Copies of this chain bind each other. A is one copy, B any other.
Amino acid sequence: MGEIYVIKANGEKELFSEDKLRASIKRAGIPDSYSSRLISQIKEVLYPEIPTSIIYKHITNFLYGIPHSSGKYMLKQAIMDFGPSGYPFEKYIARILSYRGYRTEVDVIMQGRCITHEVDIVAENEHGKYLIECKFHNLPGKRTDAKVALYIHSRYEDIMLGEYRHEKRENCKMWLVTNTKCTTDALSYAQCSGMTVYSWGYPTQTSLQHLIEDRKLYPVTCLSTLSKKQKDLLLSNDIVICQDLLHKKEILERLNLSHQERRKVLSETEELVG
């Protein structure tokens, strides 16, 4: 096979890399025994300038044959499925943080020196306070740009001169959490101005995926045993994380499931978080 270029979600061309594909399959926790078979299947269907979305589709189709493995692989899509509004994403991030030991509050009105601000999440732990802006995009390839980092910084400065004027600056941090990538400028500005970013794939060791996969804090939209309507019902009842479903099994009664379907949902959930 000669060199094949793929078209990424943001429209950029990139040389197809078997190593990248293998890394992505590995990250999804798919057993090595399946990996080689999957890779050779994918290589058979490649064509010049194939969109990566088509490659993902082939992977998902393949994964449907392996019980309970597609949920993790499709994490990125599962988060997109929170849309169109950004509100479930905020709730999801807040739940991740509370599983990781932070006290959190969502949609907090805070008084700045100039104006009042609605801060998506205020989190707190023994190290300090965190003002968090969640930037949700429901289209892949849409990057969070420098303007977002710039307005978060002004908002932070306004709050530090308003409601937080008696707080120590070193104890109050600002974070940007986004489900897509950031532009290089957005990352440079964030780093330079002391803002922490958790985005798709960045920073490598503590990215949003890492925050999720490390503790298996998968969203309920990962579950292949529920319909879109059933997932929406869970989200509107503040059940955004799979663990929550296991702690509040009674919510499943509202989903109109047969005994067998219910068992399947619980089994997939336990598999994901186990």
Chain A interface (Cβ < 8 Å from any Cβ of B): 113-116, 146-148, 150-151, 153-155, 158, 185, 188-189, 192-193
Contact = CB atoms under 8 A, between A and B. Distances in A.
Contacts of A146: 115
B114 A192 contact: yes
A115 B154 contact: no
A146 B189 CA distance: 20
A189 B188 CA distance: 25
Given A115-B185, A150-B150, A154-B154, 20 more contacts: A113-B192, A114-B188, A114-B189, A114-B192, A114-B193, A115-B146, A115-B188, A115-B189, A115-B192, A116-B185, A147-B147, A147-B151, A148-B151, A150-B151, A150-B154, A150-B155, A150-B158, A153-B154, A154-B193, A158-B189
14 contacts: A114-B189, A114-B192, A114-B193, A115-B185, A115-B188, A115-B192, A116-B185, A147-B147, A147-B151, A150-B150, A150-B151, A150-B155, A150-B158, A151-B154
| Chain copies in the assembled complex | 2
